[in-house]
Chain A
Amino acid sequence: MRTLSFRQAINEALHEEMARDERVFILGEDVARMGGDFGVTRGLWAKFGDRRVKDTPLSEAAILGVANGAAFAGLRPIAEIMFADFITECYDQLVNNSAKAHYMYNGQLQCPIVVRTACGAGFRAAYHHSQVVEAFFMNVPGLTIVAPATPYDAKGLLKTAIRDDNPVIFLEHKLLYDLKGDVPAEDYCLPIGEAIIRRPGQDITIVSSMKMVHEALRAAEQLAARGIIAEVIDLRTLIPYDHETIAASVSKTGRVILAFEGPQTGNYGAEIAAFLADSCFNDLKAPIKRVCSLDVPVPFAPVMEDYVLPEAADIVSAAMALIGD
């Protein structure tokens, strides 16, 4: 099988979907001539031209406004918000229009947009280029949030997101762009709402997404050396999420760590914790544990950033505490 980077996998999905469907177009800051700040949209402008690959001014509200309005008019826009932190600049469009247009006008409008955005810390870029933003959108019915961890999933899920009739926020953790993985040459799509078990186990469940999946896998490796076999679940899509896979795993292991990158208070994992407390209470042998960032902004100096972020070692310690070595 071919090996592609996460970046190449997304780029290939964009090429294929634009070739497949005339209605798909791309807009964002520096996406056309430059090919995107992270190089994800390279080659698209040369192939599809100004009409379908558009550089915009620094106008995130306008970018999302164009996406929403064009979607209402029957097109299938893909908007790139260069850094997820900038999504606050188009929060109104996403929360009040993308998410609600289908609902408040009683199904007359559809909003089939994809908002691709680079998120996540560990890049030494601090406050305004490092946040994960899924929790910003957890209380907004109407949105779908996709958060892949591998090149294979990134390609298959992006293709599904583009074909989906709902607004999809597609999160790309910037530290994954160079991650390599197997990606088949043939056309494939992956379903929204299905998690995957990255590593089977019976002693403890680790639920995570994006970069934290890889931290969880490293942690599982270290735990295995101590005779603890962890099951690692990669959610892949955050809204909707795969209740069944999580509940089945936790019912089996009785112990769970929710490993997500954002600050702890109101972290995405809080929703999973609430769900598990409700659905698996009688199967739990230990408290539900979250492994997250500290409740501080993402700081600049590398030693401080590393101190704030969660990593494999934090998951290992949490697991040891839960199992009681």
Chain B
Amino acid sequence: MGLSTEALLSLYYDMVLVRRFEETVDTYAKKGLIPGFLHLSIGQEACQVGAIRALKQADYKFPDHRSHGICLLAGSPRERVMAEIFGKKTGLCGGKGGSMHIADVMVGNMGNNAIQGSIMATGLGTAVAAQIKGTEQVTAIFIGDGTVGRGEFHESLNLAATWKLPIVYILVNNHYAISTHTERAHPVKDLVEMAGGYHIPGVIIDGNDVEAVYDAVTAAVARARQGEGPTLLELKTYRWQGHFSGDPAAYRPQEEVKTWKDRCPLKRCRERLLNTHQVAEAELQALERKAEEEITAMLAFTLASPDPAPADAVQHVYVGREVAGR
């Protein structure tokens, strides 16, 4: 349908921001300053940026395992997303979450989760709650292609379709579950074919086209909000890096990686802005600098932030019940 220049510029800014964010945390992980695993979404920015823009803050978002961008753009103080990944006290979860467990309930980020498929079941619950309470909130569940193999995929789609729950399933198909290509894990070429078994719409989207993602998620959200039930969207994309920061990803042919890098979602959006929307090169460069500056400020905040107190580890085990420390 074609977004306004202003809207597309804003999406482009967000994609640049996510790209720089991922590059930055990757750098700091390799310096040994970020504990644990880091699953980077470089190459998949259009999926995260387009989808999150189509959702309201009041909607429930369940980000997937490769979801820094979603957490970054959900409406939270962004520096607190980075601080969380570094395990700082100022992080959204006080350093208890890290890269794989980031929530900000105030903006409807219900938390990413390190068990693939788990949120497919949990997301049913916020949708049921919206239905019981009669609110217009939609639940967006982000999953990867690997999660299609989990039993929760079936249980979730089956129940959501039967109960007509207000859910949008955003399946980000980057073609690999760690090292295993989708073709070696699932019997169908297009995972979205699975939707047919549940009599719900399934839509294939070019996941490297931010406008296409935005449009598709917007339509699915509208359908869910009107009480017409869930939609399964399959966003075809690719992660440029390995499964985690530091994974050399030797299991992928180099020409495949190159083909997908040529389809860079940022480059495509940039070219559209230059050619179709007649935006000046200087304006784009200014935007890119602004994103750099925002990242620099986040990083300064993060590096200046204190670690949590060790004994914070005994807080929040139970509501209203103490657990002994050392």
CA distance A21 to B318 in the complex (A): 22
Distance in Å: Cβ of A22 to nearest Cβ of chain B: 9
- B54 → A minimal CB distance (Å): 21
CA distance A208 to B60 in the complex (A): 44
A108-B118 contact in complex given A67-B125, A141-B323, C-beta closer than 8 Å = no
Q: Contacts of B286 on A, CB cut-off 8 Å?
A: none
Interface check A125, CB cutoff 8 A: no
Q: Mark B224-259, 1 if CB is under 8 A from A, else 0.
A: 000000000000000000000000000000000000
* A97-B118 in contact (CB<8A): yes
Q: Which of B154-162, B184-192, B264-272 contacts A (4 or more CB under 8 A)?
A: B154-162
**Binary contact readout A37-76 vs B (1 if CB under 8 angstroms, 0 otherwise):** 0000000000000011000110101101111111111110
Given contacts A59-B159, A62-B121, A108-B103, contact A73 B60 (CB under 8 A): yes
Known contacts A75-B129, A92-B115: A62-B103 contact under CB 8 Å: no
Residues of B contacting A104 with CB < 8 Å?
93, 96-97, 101, 111
Cβ B316 vs Cβ A73 within 8 A: no
A153-187 CB mask vs B (1 if < 8 Å, else 0) is: 00000000000111000000000000000000000
Q: Count of chain B residues with Cβ under 8 Å from any Cβ of A?
A: 44
- Does A110 lie at the interface of the complex (its beta carbon under 8 Å from any beta carbon of B)? yes
Query: Does A93 reach chain B (CB closer than 8 Å)?
Result: yes
B154 CB, min distance to chain A CBs, angstroms: 8
Contacts of B320 in A (CB 8 A): 165-166
Q: Are B93 and A59 in contact, with the CB atoms below 8 A?
A: no
Partner of B118, one of A93, A144, A166: A93
Q: B130 near A106 (CB under 8 angstroms)?
A: no
Contact assessment for A69 and B318 in the assembled complex, using a CB-CB cutoff below 8 Å: no
- CB under 8 Å from chain A, chain B span 116-143: 118, 120-130, 132-133, 139
Question: At the interface, yes or no: B8 with Cβ under 8 Å from chain A?
Answer: no
**Does chain B have a CB within 8 A of A101?**
yes
Which residue in A65, A67, A75, A166 is a CB contact (below 8 Å) of B152? A65
Q: Do the beta carbons of B124 and A96 come within 8 Å of each other?
A: no
Q: Determine whether the beta carbon of B155 is less than 8 Å from that of A62.
A: yes
| Across-interface contacts of B132 in A (CB, < 8 A) | 25, 51-52, 70, 75
CA distance A57 to B127 in the complex (A): 17
Please state if B152 and A102 are interface contacts (CB–CB under 8 Å).
Answer: no
Which of B60, B96, B162 has the largest number of chain A CB atoms within 10 A?
B96
| Bound Cα distance A105, B63 (Å) | 14
A103 within 8 A of B: yes
Chain B residues near A103 (CB-CB < 8 A):
96, 316-317
User: Chain B 96-121 against A: per-residue CB contact (8 Å), 1 yes, 0 no?
Assistant: 11000101110000110101001011
Cα-based distance from A73 to B316 in the complex (angstroms): 18
Check A109 for interface membership: any CB of B closer than 8 A.
yes
Q: How many angstroms from the CA of A264 to the CA of B96 in the assembled complex?
A: 36
Asked if B319 is at the interface (CB within 8 A of a chain A CB), the reply is yes
Provide the bound-state CA to CA distance between A102 and B314, in Å: 12
Please determine whether A57 and B121 come into contact, CB atoms closer than 8 angstroms: no
Residues of chain B within 8 A of A73, CB atoms compared? 60, 125-126, 129-130, 133
Residue of B nearest to A25 (CB): B132
Q: In the assembled complex, which residues on chain A have CB atoms less than 8 Å from the CB atom of B155?
A: 57, 59, 61-62, 65
Tell me if A166 and B159 are in contact (CB < 8 A).
no
Residues of chain B within 8 A (CB-CB) of A35 are none
User: CB of A227 within 8 A of chain B?
Assistant: no
When chains A and B are docked, how far (Å) is the Cα of A304 from the Cα of B141? 48
Q: Does A120 contact B (CB under 8 A)?
A: no
Most chain B CB neighbours (cut-off 10 Å) among A73, A103, A107: A73
Contact A92 B118 (CB under 8 A): yes
Interface residues of B in 14-38 (CB under 8 A from A): none
Whole-angstrom distance between the alpha carbons of A253 and B105 in the complex?
A: 52
Which of A71, A77, A107, A164 is within 8 Å of B316, CB to CB? Answer: A107
A101 to B113, CA, bound (A): 10
CA distance A109 to B315 in the complex (A): 13
Say yes or no for A310: interface residue by CB 8 A criterion.
no
Contact partners of B105 in chain A: CB under 8 A = 72, 105, 108-109
B65 to A: closest C-beta gap in Å: 13
The 10 closest A-B pairs by CB, nearest first: A69-B125, A65-B121, A73-B129, A165-B319, A105-B103, A62-B155, A70-B125, A59-B155, A106-B94, A106-B93
Q: A65-B118, A69-B122, A105-B96 are in contact. List 4 more A-B contacts (CB 8 A).
A: A62-B156, A108-B93, A108-B105, A166-B319
Q: List 19 A-B contacts (CB under 8 A).
A: A56-B159, A59-B158, A62-B152, A65-B125, A65-B156, A68-B121, A69-B126, A70-B129, A73-B126, A73-B129, A73-B130, A77-B125, A102-B318, A105-B101, A105-B103, A106-B93, A106-B96, A110-B319, A166-B319
